Amino acid sequence: MPDETSSPIPEPEVGPENEPEAEAPDVGPPAPGRRGGRLRRWLRGRPGAALAGSLAGALLAGSLVAWKTDALTLPWREDPVCWDALSRGTVADLVGDDFRADELPLRTEGISSGRVLATCRAMRPDGDGWTMTASVRDLDSLYGLDRREWPAEFLNGLMTPLGDGLTGMVSPGRAWVALPASCRLTGNYDPPTVVDVSWGDLHISRADDAEEDRAVLARGVVELANGVMDRFGCEDRLPPPGKLPPLTWLESAPEDDLCGLEGLRAPEAMRRQAEDDIGYDQLLSPASEGVGPVCELGLGRLERLRLITIEDPAMAMVYKRSVGRVGAEALEGDGVGSFVGDLGVFQAECPDGEVTFVAQLDDYFDAALARELFPAYVRAEGLRLGCGPLRVLPKG
């Protein structure tokens, strides 16, 4: 505060190692003849006010010194966010340059479960626009959520592979990648540890900037995963994402070669629906490293069926414990499986190892149609993979 008796604010030291990233604001006294004179007259005879002015000046000076010595966190700094694993530039490409980031620390929830739980969110200070959410988690079928909610977002027909050497996928609004086995905190018979990033609406597949968003998310999720691995003390590093294949969306699902599989014919109920000009659409995601393809069929946003093939043993563990559950409709034939509620799972031995086939339907999808289509899908996928024409039959 300007006063004849107050000491001038000390100038903080400036050097190459602590020079501010932005010029400090001017904190000098007001120009003569303006508000400074009136303020000085008001302070005369008020010792408490003068003391407050001196304290305010000291606090302001301390803040400036803290700015220069990195002790004060400011939103425009270039420090990485989300466990110091994600550059601010990557986040800014999604939510804009002006954002705040909040995170929960990387931790393990209990010795028995071993579930790594951590979440980081970045958003604009005014709350406008999309929020970016990054998570580190151990997928675990014991809790039920990871075989339903997570696949609905991260194993759907909008996803495409990240590239060679990466078990992961990306869409215009979602991305995930599994940490290598050498850096997982789970056991050999547990689902993997994954890093995932979500941004915006799940259903933005045909936006004009979808390709740019996919590229940013792909780069960001791998960057984040490598940073998390560093925090875990792992020496391995994931390679950068490769060229992303195009999204494959058909407004009308074909009657023949459904899901791109030779010989897979649409059931009669689907063909009748198409004749009423309210036909099923089809989203087809190519195979990733051990995960996929994913064929998604549906009517609008709520009636969706996802048919998934999983060759990666760790990812298959997300669904493996569903087989043989109490109350499930058992499946047999050239493998073992079950159908319970909204989830069908069938596992069979193929030349390259065990393969898990999954049918997952949303609440409004026709359950009878899903049960009719699933065995035909397994048979056609088995032929494609060299497993032979796998038979899926109700047990008994």
Q: What is the pLDDT of residues 184-202, one digit of tens each?
A: 766 666 788 899 999 887 7
Residue 252 phi/psi, 5-degree rounding, is -125, 120
Is the confidence at residue 39, as pLDDT, over 80?
no
Q: If you compute the radius of gyration of the chain from its CA atoms, what whole number of angstroms results? A: 29
Is the confidence at residue 32, as pLDDT, over 70?
no
Give the C-alpha separation, 303 to 365, whole Å.
4
Among the residue ranges 184-188, 321-325, 346-350, the one predicted with the least confidence is: 184-188
Q: What's residue 238's pLDDT? A: 97
Give the C-alpha separation, 395 to 324, whole Å.
11
What percentage of the chain carries pLDDT values higher than 70?
A: 72
Mean pLDDT value across the chain: 77
The token pair that represents 104 in the structure block: 């929960």
Residues 6+ apart with CB under 8 A from 198: 132, 133, 135, 153, 173, 174
40 or 144, greater pLDDT: 144
Tell me the whole-structure pTM to 2 decimals: 0.76
The token pair that represents 365 in the structure block: 């999808």
Give the C-alpha separation, 42 to 61, whole Å.
23
> pLDDT tens-digit profile of 254-274?
999 999 999 999 999 888 877
Q: What's residue 9's pLDDT? A: 40
Neighbours of 329 (CB within 10 A): 14
333 or 6, greater pLDDT: 333
Nearest CA to 180 out of 260, 236, 127 is that of 236
What percentage of the chain carries pLDDT values higher than 90?
A: 40
Neighbours of 232 (CB within 10 A): 15
> pLDDT tens-digit profile of 215-246?
999 999 999 999 999 988 898 999 999 999 98
Which ranges constitute the DSSP H helices of the chain? 35-43, 47-68, 88-95, 149-154, 210-231, 268-275, 313-320, 367-385
